[in-house]
Amino acid sequence: MATIKHLIRSSVVRRVLYAVAGSGAGYVYFLVIGCDGSCPITSQAWSSAAYGALFGILVPPSLRSRDEK
């Protein structure tokens, strides 16, 4: 059990989890809001998921409080 907590606290694993969550959110965004060809980001499911994964990797580290750094 302690090794699972240590693994989740790992920076690489955490970023992968954020990327997976962001990719899922991007795909849901495509399904709910997406457009039919005129929008370069949301016109295809894979591009929407890729942008979601990118945001999932980049945004969470910037949201951490300064005490955690």
50 within a domain of the structure (yes/no)? yes
Contact (CB, 8 A) for 24 and 39: no
Residue-wise pLDDT tens digits, 5-63: 776 667 778 888 899 999 999 999 989 987 777 888 778 889 999 999 999 988 877 77
68 within a domain of the structure (yes/no)? no
Write the DSSP symbol of residue 21: H
Q: Is the pTM of this model over 0.85?
A: no
20: containing domain: 16-63
Residue-wise pLDDT tens digits, 53-62: 999 988 877 7
What six digits make up the tokens of 14? 């955490």
Query: In this structure, is the dihedral angle defined by the CA atoms of residues 29, 34, 40 and 46, taken in order, positive or negative?
Result: positive
What residue type is 15 in one-letter code?
R
What residue type is 19 in one-letter code?
A
Contact (CB, 8 A) for 18 and 60: yes
40 within a domain of the structure (yes/no)? yes
